[in-house]
Amino acid sequence: MDAFPATPQIERLIDLALEEDIGSGDVTTQALIPPNLQGEAQIRAKETLVVAGLPLAARVFYRLTREVQFSPAVQDGQEVEAGAVLAILTGPVPPILTGERVALNFLQHLSGIATFTKKMVEAVAFMPVALVDTRKTTPGWRVLEKYAVRLGGGRNHRGGLFDGVLIKNNHLIAIGSITEAVRRARKAAPHTLKIEVEVTSLAELEEALNIGADIILLDNMSDADLAKAADLTLGRALLEASGSMTLERLPQAAATRVNFISMGALTHSAPAVDIHLRLLKTWSQEVEEGG
């Protein structure tokens, strides 16, 4: 199973989300719920989904108090049916109620991405192509959203501007030619980084092949042109198809023999799934008097 990316950045994101929601205090819970009230709650799926974000949800409650016990009932990456229990929480009721929405926001969004990605991946199952994400992610959420893509069976493109050379249209406008852009990239970038070039025509593909680009991104090409590109390339570079990809189109694009299909929709358009938290029972904790 893919390891959860526990990083300081994610801890900061949790703190930001809690600060945004709680502000100066949870006035409703503070007014209604005795601080010594204990309880048990369940987080349940209300539809079929691929689970993503349980370790993150646990951290939300732990940031509020270590007294809440968060016990996962399933694992991230597991597909569950409607009604499935995802986690059981026991401990003081006030932090359970205060952290509920932030925890569910993380779970619903990330599980939505994992579920949506699985649906897209299944459309090209048993075909020699990998479905990859893009940098079109929610600011601050990239590591988490790319984690959710992996849980859904997709693969990650570069994590940022730092871990891969991708020469795009605006770079080419500034430089003037694919040949010169690749030459400069080869000279300046570490030898361990592959050079990818975005092209919009078969003529540009030929130029990128002749200069020795490692990967060529075929941007917004028709399926017919994608097939022609594969014929022209003959294995000299890896090919990535991108632009206007939908569930219906994926099998046709995969059949053109490209190596990768990238979809920004995996992260920017995946609908959140329905998950809820319900308090099942409560009891009062005896408060010891000072001696």
Q: Are 133 and 156 in contact (CB under 8 A)?
A: yes
Active site residue 219: yes
pLDDT for res 291: 42
Active site residue 163: no
Active site residue 194: no
pLDDT for res 3: 84
Binned at pLDDT 50, 70 and 90, residue 288 comes out as low
Of 136, 186, 194, 228, which is the active-site residue? Answer: 136
- Structure tokens that stand for 149 in this block: 């893509």
- Structure tokens that stand for 260 in this block: 């990768």
Of 63, 101, 228, 249, which is the active-site residue? Answer: 101
Tell me the pairing of strands 79-80 and 37-45.
unpaired
**Pick the residue with more confidence: 4 or 251?**
251
**Using one digit for the tens of pLDDT, what is the confidence trace for 121-138?**
999 999 999 999 999 999
Please enumerate in sequence order all residues whose Cβ is within 8 A of that of 17, keeping only pairs 6 or more positions apart, or say none.
60, 102, 105, 106
CA-based radius of gyration for the chain: 24
Active site residue 198: yes
Per-residue b/e over 17-51, b at no fewer than 16 CB within 10 Å?
bbeeebeeebeebeeebeeebbbbbebbbeeebbb
**Lowest mean pLDDT, pick from 118-122, 157-161, 283-287:** 283-287
Binned at pLDDT 50, 70 and 90, residue 6 comes out as confident
Closest by CA position to 208, among listed 244, 243, 171: 171
Of 100, 198, 204, 240, which is the active-site residue? Answer: 198
Of 46, 66, 168, 184, which is the active-site residue? Answer: 168
